Structure 1
Amino acid sequence: MNHTIAPTTPRQRFIQNLAESELFQHYQKAFHTLTSLPLGLEASKEDEHIESIVTRKGVAGVVETQVPVRVGKNTIAVLLTGGVRLQPANADTFAPVAKALLDDGHSAPEIRGAKVHFEHAPIMEPARYEAALAILQSFALQLGESAHRMLFATATHEPEAVRNAKTFIHAHLAEPMSLEAVASAVNVSPFHFCKLFKRATGLTFTDFVNRARVEKAKRMLMKPAARITEVAYDVGFQSLSHFNRSFRRIADESPTEFRSRMKHSGPALMAA
């Protein structure tokens, strides 16, 4: 499941960087060693909304599965695996394949040749395949968190103005911030900066700032003594309602729900 098509959109370029990361490369090798299944990573299409695992079965019974990788509410990529059949090769399971080929006008020798390929397709027990998908679901969550962090890190391949803008944004998160002010700080016209920033990061300036503020808020909310209202203003939101709306849109949960989940899933992480 290796895709060699050159990336053309910001999302595709970003997902290519994610696929080349040490985290994905290490997991891809470990997953194949454990399950003998291939594992690929592909940017999701802009008009495609995959909310949960999707498994499709071809006429020969070969299954392929997509596991969504999400940043907040947005599916940015899919993990791809499969290429196996979940049923044994016998006359009953080949019958639908033979019928489909016959209906398409294939000859008897062609159908016999298809039967040879059918019998040699790798087979996996359904329970084992489901277990592999459960492992991928957990990895998809981890990969989504890594992707979120990568969005806000400065990258050497990015234009200097974008790198400088990210540094400026992180240093001034608590302050009111406009596109014009950041563009001026990095010596680029607002119009050019808007296009440059979106092309390099895949995000609008406003969305990037809000996501950076929410990311910082998450770290602050890990401290039990921090009050949600104070956190909202400390990361630059001008109202609690705006903070709550942005947090839920980006993190898919409220600040209170995030803090509660962190407390119950890992008390040791909640540093005083």
Structure 2
Amino acid sequence: MAREHAAWLKLAHSATVRKQQAAFTGATELPLTLVPTIGGMGGFDAVRSSGAFCVEGCMGERSGEVCQQMLVGAERRAARNSEAVQFRCPAGLFKIIVPVFVGGQHVGNVLAGPFSQQALDRGTLRRLTHRLRQWGLEKRLAGLRASWRYSPLLSDERSRSVATLLKLFADYLSELGNQISAREPRQRSPLLKKIEAYLAENQNRSISTRDLAQRVRLSPCYFCKLFKKQTGLTFTEYRRRERVEKAKRLLLDPYRRVSEVAFEAGFDSIPYFNRVFRRVVGCSPSAYRASVARTIQDKRLTI
């Protein structure tokens, strides 16, 4: 997992990525922040250092604590379904969060906002004042008004467009992160080499953790701990990634249907294959095939 998080740090400090963040803000009027996973390395301290203003709380006092709770819930929903999630902050404004996966690991998020979808009328202000009172923030009404005053107003259609742009940006970061992670040197232990050789010989068989643990003469529990320590992945996730790599090779054949690739790579379900492939690679199998085809065509044109 350290490799994946190292890739995320490189993304977050990339001059190119920062230019893209600035371009997004210029086009949408929304701040765009790269936020590390709250449950990952550094927790909220890492999130604060990323410049995620909402974590500090735009209304002062303990509004930051409430922001953190809402951000945690939104992050979990987004990561669980690998999709954009729109949620409200304590000030009643909206934000959109999209997870970024590198090597199948949730390493960070892109966060846009805040914005409103209606004017701050009396009814809305009354409801928000009641919520502030429940949180012990009734004295922060001036901060709430200021947050609304300086946040852009987006229609439903425009907020959906923003979510689409964020998802595309998150997919781009995932693909770039996977490339960075793949370039990092990895030392493979004799045990891991033995496991990889056995899996290669039996790639078309369904192999359980217990079967493989017996093969290398370890207890299943110790095998799982050792495997995770050496690879940064669970055995199940490792197998998924191996199958995705095989699928990527098979997709190079333009005459092979995606469904054939899925089953030949070891997946039992097309929707599951699409979901895992997107999470690991950062795009769908069809999009990956089209991207590779364009790259090959561009190389031919330059020869």
TM-score normalised by length of structure 1: 0.59
- Structure that is richer in helix per residue: 2
CA shift, 1:81, in A, is 1.4
Is contact 2:258-2:285 (8 Å) kept? no
Is contact 1:214-1:247 (8 Å) kept? no
1:198 aligns with 2:228: yes
**Could you tell me how far apart the structure 1 residues matched to 2:226 and 2:119 are?**
54
**Could you tell me how far apart the structure 1 residues matched to 2:179 and 2:111 are?**
25
Structure 2 unaligned regions, length at least 5:
26-30, 41-74, 204-210, 278-283
The alpha-carbon distance between structure 1 residues 104 and 250, as it changes in their structure 2 partners (threshold 3 A), is closer
Which residue identity does 2:106 align to in structure 1? I
- Name the counterpart of 2:141: 114
- Name the counterpart of 1:224: 254
Ranked by relative contact order (alpha carbons within 8 Å, sequence separation 6 or more), the top structure is 2
The alpha-carbon distance between structure 1 residues 196 and 45, as it changes in their structure 2 partners (threshold 3 A), is farther
CA shift, 1:135, in A, is 1.9
- Name the counterpart of 2:10: 21
Which residue identity does 1:22 align to in structure 2? L
1:175 aligns with 2:192: no
CA shift, 1:214, in A, is 3.0
1:139 aligns with 2:169: yes
- Name the counterpart of 2:154: 126
Structure 1 unaligned regions, length at least 5:
1-9, 184-188, 233-239
**Could you tell me how far apart the structure 2 residues matched to 1:56 and 1:64 are?**
6
- What does 1:62-141 align with in structure 2 at a 5 Å threshold? 62-69=93-100, 76=106, 79-86=109-116, 92=122, 93-101=124-132, 110=139, 113-120=140-147, 122-126=150-154, 130-141=160-171
**Could you tell me how far apart the structure 2 residues matched to 1:230 and 1:150 are?**
30
**Could you tell me how far apart the structure 2 residues matched to 1:196 and 1:220 are?**
31
% identical aligned pairs = 25
**Could you tell me how far apart the structure 2 residues matched to 1:269 and 1:88 are?**
45
CA shift, 1:87, in A, is 5.3
- Name the counterpart of 2:43: none
User: Aligned to 1:79, what secondary structure does the other structure show?
Assistant: strand
The alpha-carbon distance between structure 1 residues 15 and 94, as it changes in their structure 2 partners (threshold 3 A), is farther
Superposed CA RMSD in Å reads 4.9
Is contact 1:224-1:270 (8 Å) kept? no
TM-score normalised by length of structure 2: 0.54
State how many pairs are aligned. 236
Q: Deviations over 1:28-72 (max 9, x none)?
A: 5234312133231325659x7234321111342222322134579
Larger Rg: 1
Q: Deviations over 1:55-99 (max 9, x none)?
A: 111342222322134579x78355241442325775535343334
